[in-house]
Chains A and B, each alone.
Chain A
């Protein structure tokens, strides 16, 4: 019995060695040591979490040692470029944002075969589409962050007739806000507008795509004018004035100052963490062009020069397991890319959020928008243009066409000077991006 076991082990080892193509004496073969370079989970605490909680069990299970290296995008690019030039490399697996992969797609291998091996997991079609770069599957969706809505359950009874929380429109959101104001005597919607808030993400990634189907190109279109009139005259009167100094909505939700709010998942999280029974998360509303939302998607890809491709594929399989994805959500707050994981999340705050995030990503009218890459240090200018436009029109009451023209010129200048491509949902192949009508 013992002998058989030993022979079995030997055969397994031989098989593994053959499969991984490790050179040298096959009888002395050890499981490979692979290198995973990631632009995500770089901060020390997060990296420690990855090493101790995620990779240690992987090594115990497979025997594959993983060296996890955190890197900025620039370092990642230089590294892969050097390896590609040398024709051989040490990087086996790359973790990064969708925007990172756009820049390094030329060095990446097609991972369609790895994806095919993950048949038991459901990825959002939009995510897989984002992973298709230069005609290949450049990465497999790994995890995401996003901005979404959260409501105090008290507010649900005022939801307008026939409105579905998971398929809300902007009109219905306003009607809901009106009903809440009638019932409570004050505006109850919340969109953060403080100096360090993410208001600009709401404007360029949610309102603009939903109302114009565009972020940059139709910045001063007629649809945009209609949208601004709507935001100023319909939506803003339902928003509580206390948002002006608020950078995150969780505090206002917990206080009860606002009952329905939009914000980044991490800036909503504290509300259900403190009172998981009281809050529900749901997708952002839809406009005439669909349900615009920003999908901050991270993926996993394998460089063409990876020395241990099969071991890297094994790690991808491990990282996209629902239970691993739940672990990542619990440890560092990134949401699963695999639909099965939302159901596997234990009850509590994270489940509340995960369900909302998942519902938003897989909505039938989903219109994913992206934060533009390629702006470098001027990414702040991009956000500020949208924030300033909002403040000038909605809060200061300035003339819409005048403001749009002035701000549109700045937007145009920004893209011309940086040569950056249009962010989704604008055509990603237009580079540099330009504003129509200038």
Chain B
């Protein structure tokens, strides 16, 4: 039996997909729907609730009172602002430089560079609390660092590094731990960015006589700007949310904003003050994101 061919020009029913989802132009929106729903449910709604709570008093009237009140009830408010900013100020540039160096190194495709990249990315898979505890095990009185120094005969008795009497030591310990833990995310973004840079540009530059340094400065870095922007935004926002590493290494002797919010929410059961802190973190993150978008603006022709 010969197959029956549909005569040309007759009306065929639209595919099932089209009938359910509408025309193809609507499809992207349907695909976006789940993530939009997720964002609304777990970010937008709680966020708006937090903002409302932060600007209302117990009776539901709008007020700014919660901010001075929080300052009175929490002597760590200003120190938390100070330490959070200082940590971000030191950690983010440090991570950017380290990640860039490692990314450039990986991009030379030396033997074993992929393995090297994976090893560098290991901390990505760790929770920040786990990372904090690992470094606590290193810096503690009877931790690995003291044991090592003692074995090498450099010290007679353990040095107490994690002590509230030396806030800058606590600061340094957090910087080291956070640097180890969170550089990988910047690294991954930059490696991806580097691999997208077409070899043609570099070859042209080489033909025109640019040396290694000039190629980096005038070709690679400008082309990497979109990736740098993305990495900086991600890392800076995370830097202002720094939490578990500080908690593990410094307790509340190095107060930071997210730790304060957590403390007020879980231990003091004070949703209002926790929300005030959340709003402050949100405001800072927004300001920095806008700053990055403005100052690291990616021109249209740089986009691919």
Contacts and interface: CB of A to CB of B under 8 A. Distances in A.
Interface of A: 185-186, 193-196, 240-242, 244-245, 255, 257, 377-378, 380-381, 384, 388, 391-392, 395, 406, 410
Contact of A194 (B251, B263, B268): B251
13 contacts: A196-B267, A241-B164, A242-B141, A242-B162, A244-B163, A244-B253, A245-B250, A378-B268, A381-B270, A384-B268, A391-B164, A395-B253, A410-B73
Contact of A195 (B75, B247, B270): B247
Given A195-B251, A244-B251, A384 B267 contact: yes
Contacts of A395: 164-165, 253
B140 A380 contact: no
B37 interface: no
A78 to B, nearest CB: 21
A245 B162 contact: yes
Contacts of B247: 195
A410 B162 CA distance: 30
Nearest to A185: B157
Contacts of B175: none
Contacts of B72: 406, 410
Contacts of A185: 157
A195 B249 CA distance: 11
Interface of B: 72-73, 75-76, 136, 140-142, 157, 160, 162-165, 247-253, 263, 267-270
A241 B269 contact: no
A194 B248 CA distance: 10
Nearest to A194: B251
Most-contacted residue by chain B among A185, A244, A391, A395 (CB, 10 A): A244
A157 to B, nearest CB: 21
Given A186-B157, A245-B136, A377-B269, A255 B142 contact: yes
Nearest to B160: A241
A196 B160 CA distance: 20
- Nearest first, the 4 A-B pairs at minimum CB distance are A241-B163, A380-B268, A195-B251, A377-B269
Nearest to A196: B267
Contacts of A378: 268-269
B101 to A, nearest CB: 32
A399 B215 CA distance: 59
B-side binding surface: helix, strand, loop or mixed?
loop
Contacts of A384: 267-268
A294 to B, nearest CB: 19
Contacts of A406: 72, 75
A195 B246 CA distance: 11
B75 A257 contact: no
A195 B254 CA distance: 11
A242 B169 CA distance: 13
B263 A257 contact: no
A392 B75 contact: yes
A351 to B, nearest CB: 29
A380 B267 contact: yes
B162 A244 contact: yes
A381 B269 CA distance: 9
Contacts of A242: 140-141, 160, 162-163
A290 to B, nearest CB: 30
Contact of A193 (B140, B248, B251, B269): B251
A198 B295 CA distance: 48
A195 B136 contact: no
Contacts of A240: 160
Nearest to A389: B75
Contact of B164 (A186, A244, A255, A257): A244
B251 A245 contact: yes
Contacts of B251: 193-195, 244-245
Contacts of A196: 267
Nearest to A398: B75
B173 to A, nearest CB: 11
Nearest to A186: B157
A196 B163 CA distance: 16
A266 B202 CA distance: 66
Contacts of A244: 162-164, 250-251, 253
Contacts of B252: 195
Contacts of B248: 245
Nearest to A244: B164
A240 B252 CA distance: 17
Most-contacted residue by chain B among A185, A240, A380 (CB, 10 A): A380
Contacts of A193: 164, 251
A381 B268 contact: yes
B303 to A, nearest CB: 46
A271 B300 CA distance: 66
Given A384-B267, A391-B253, 18 more contacts: A193-B164, A195-B263, A240-B160, A241-B165, A242-B162, A244-B162, A244-B164, A244-B251, A245-B136, A245-B248, A245-B251, A378-B269, A380-B268, A380-B270, A381-B268, A381-B270, A395-B164, A395-B165
A186 B165 CA distance: 15
A406 B71 CA distance: 12
Contacts of A245: 136, 162, 248-251
A200 B72 CA distance: 19
Contacts of A381: 73, 268, 270
Contacts of B250: 244-245
Contacts of B157: 185-186
Contacts of B162: 242, 244-245
Nearest to B268: A380
B141 A257 contact: yes
Nearest to A245: B251
Contacts of B75: 388, 392, 406
Contacts of A241: 160, 163-165
A139 B64 CA distance: 48
Contacts of A195: 247, 251-252, 263
